[in-house]
Structure 1
């Protein structure tokens, strides 16, 4: 049985660890990495390839989810705390790829590689952490715990992103040293995480090993089997794919629109794409947590999804109307939407499965997110490139497509909630 003391003790260990890791994660945020790549390499590589690089680093958080089946298979029956710690160290070290790389095409390649490697390691952390949270925290407080951990992380990442934007605009040497400090802080958090304990660890490992022996561990075949057998989860994943495609498509072309169409200064681009949304997250995440504690994930998504539609809608108006002032309320609204998404992302799949299969269901979710994360940002920047080549003014209309996708997904969630 979980006591209040044990929950509190585990929570404070996690709080310290994730807060320190947040410093390194800020450098891997899609908005931050995308803006910096667009700034540092615009004069040394062709515009087409620069746009593809921006799409990859902006989409790296989602693209990396393609590695989830591998991590889900690796973690079964293993020491999960140690695995999270090692992956967090690798994630923190990966940000050095960006600042230690030379200028030119080689540097661009290393910057993209560092973003992808870091995010792949972080995907492993998320996949394993899902099982840890399921084991250590009861259902009725899980959303509250997640919100309480996300709050300081978001504030740290917002302020760190702001510092990255300002320093990078003024000093290349300064940003190199700053990234080194961020890496050290992240590594410190990873080592602190090793003191965490898992409730019922032996029974959990035993159950996972039995499943692995009988079913062969998680794989693409397991993913397909889960979707085929679990009709409810299949419907949830189908709607998430439509809805999430819009959310993942808009950020990379938005960075290009901010730079080329709206002529926003670089440090403000970081604020708009990363710092302001992250700063807005703590203001609403506990409200979303109260909602999720009371609702099934499908009912929750039927409400929460409209916050993304509103945010992308305001971004679209800012672009079409050439109204930079709209970017700030759009970014704040986007942050409130991300606050709810953090909870749904980490906890939603638990409404469909049991503890020993939690990591498998999480792996299904994040893998499908990786598929759309690989495709949608590339589609977004190339559609922007195509429209811009037809007419300089046409590129600003590109955000209409992700808006329509998110709107369609939100409507689908409403229909699902009514049926259920």
Structure 2
């Protein structure tokens, strides 16, 4: 069922990665704060996900049913956006609402993976569904660009609405996962784990630095080549091909190997290697100055994204017991939401006043610092390798 769910999810992901922002730029010419808000709205959903997990503990319903309900609500946002071809405000509100609802269920899937996937092959199983999703994103990133040029965005956003409903149906068909009931809601109770688990706390700091760096550059991938101000001004199909198809092809080729690496290699080493790909890809994309550099940079970023996607989704399963994975992941998602709200605003401000090169250098520097923070753990892993063998 997770493989099946990956198909509509892959279609819907093109909205967040490319086409919601492309429509905002080329159809409505929305101001920078609106474009930044559309990108950040998914992060607002991650902020709210902290409270979603606590609510489930109080009311006792299954993780599956709450995830499905959020995706149904997301479909209403896409429908609203689809029915507003001449109303930029309604498009903005509908798109933001859809992304908020879709992201609010992010920690819930981690709880399902922890319950139903065996520890020794969790990374591999997750990578298979991620590969299916990436195949769909790659195909859709190219075909949707051609479609939107000819048909407009209304049919596309209705398709996104259907995709979220398909995701909801698939998760409801899975065996239900339930959390232990709580007598009262303590909205920020999950943050207690930060003080109790030093490794978890340190990795949250690492993720904050890394995430701010990555999300700052990620927010501008479409803007950089879709807005003529920065020298490219590509149309929808070319923009979709570069920002969705190319990175997803790289994702497809490397995601299963990353899954196997996650299962077999020490965590901190995997994190450092993924970071190297992120830094290199970002710098080449923004500083290369040619179409070839755009393609190479975004491909390297796609390789990093495939490993990063596995790490983002599954890393808490290494640091939490089965019952608490959802809470650990909700803290992680909440803080992802914090940086996800901040990063696009920073990105659009910096590029407006200092240009894209400054964004790239700032992004790469933050990723590098996040890697240096875990350098002691990486050294420790190498020292302990013979003992583990």
- TM (normalized to structure 1)? 0.83
1:257-308 per-position Cα deviation (integer Å, ceiling 9, x unaligned): 3222122312222222223212221100011111110134333212221111
Alignment partner, residue 69 of structure 2:
86
> Displacement, 1:25?
3.4
Q: For residues 230 and 247 of structure 1, what CA distance do their matches in structure 2 show? A: 25
1:52-109 per-position Cα deviation (integer Å, ceiling 9, x unaligned): 2222223333342111111111222322222222222222342223221243xxx333
Would you say 1:262 and 2:243 are equivalent positions?
A: no
1:123-142 per-position Cα deviation (integer Å, ceiling 9, x unaligned): 23321111111111111111
- Residues 279-290 of structure 1 mapped to structure 2, 5 A cutoff: 279-290=249-260
> Displacement, 1:331?
1.2
Alignment partner, residue 385 of structure 2:
none
> Displacement, 1:400?
1.5
- Partner residue of 1:235 out of 199, 202, 212: 202
**Does structure 2 retain, via aligned residues, the 8 Å contact 1:257–1:396?**
no
Alignment partner, residue 31 of structure 1:
18
> Displacement, 1:383?
1.3
Would you say 1:277 and 2:247 are equivalent positions?
A: yes
**Does structure 2 retain, via aligned residues, the 8 Å contact 1:249–1:380?**
yes
Q: Return closer, same or farther for 1:220/1:16 CA change in 2, 3 Å cut-off.
A: same
- Partner residue of 1:193 out of 166, 171, 176: 171
- TM (normalized to structure 2)? 0.89
1:189-235 per-position Cα deviation (integer Å, ceiling 9, x unaligned): 4224322114xx5xx54xx21xx33xx54523532x22122111010
- Partner residue of 1:139 out of 104, 119, 129: 119
Deviates further, 136-145 or 56-65? 56-65
> Helix, strand or coil: the match of 1:95?
helix
**Does structure 1 retain, via aligned residues, the 8 Å contact 2:282–2:298?**
no
Alignment partner, residue 331 of structure 2:
364
Q: For residues 154 and 278 of structure 1, what CA distance do their matches in structure 2 show? A: 5
1:318-354 per-position Cα deviation (integer Å, ceiling 9, x unaligned): 2xxx323200011111111110111111100111111
Alignment partner, residue 226 of structure 1:
193
**Does structure 2 retain, via aligned residues, the 8 Å contact 1:91–1:117?**
yes
Would you say 1:41 and 2:2 are equivalent positions?
A: no
**Does structure 1 retain, via aligned residues, the 8 Å contact 2:43–2:100?**
no
Alignment partner, residue 35 of structure 2:
54
**Does structure 2 retain, via aligned residues, the 8 Å contact 1:314–1:326?**
yes
- Partner residue of 2:371 out of 389, 397, 410: 410
**Does structure 1 retain, via aligned residues, the 8 Å contact 2:72–2:165?**
yes
**Does structure 2 retain, via aligned residues, the 8 Å contact 1:21–1:187?**
no
Deviates further, 332-341 or 262-271? 262-271
Q: Return closer, same or farther for 1:419/1:22 CA change in 2, 3 Å cut-off.
A: same
Alignment partner, residue 115 of structure 1:
95
Q: Return closer, same or farther for 1:251/1:264 CA change in 2, 3 Å cut-off.
A: same
Alignment partner, residue 168 of structure 1:
148
> Displacement, 1:251?
2.3
**Does structure 2 retain, via aligned residues, the 8 Å contact 1:239–1:412?**
yes
Q: For residues 414 and 149 of structure 1, what CA distance do their matches in structure 2 show? A: 31
Alignment partner, residue 124 of structure 1:
104
Alignment partner, residue 286 of structure 2:
316
Unaligned runs of 5+ residues in structure 2 are 382-389
CA-based RMSD of the aligned residues comes to: 2.1
Unaligned runs of 5+ residues in structure 1 are 1-12, 388-393
Aligned residue-pair number: 376
**Does structure 2 retain, via aligned residues, the 8 Å contact 1:25–1:92?**
no
- Partner residue of 1:246 out of 205, 208, 213: 213
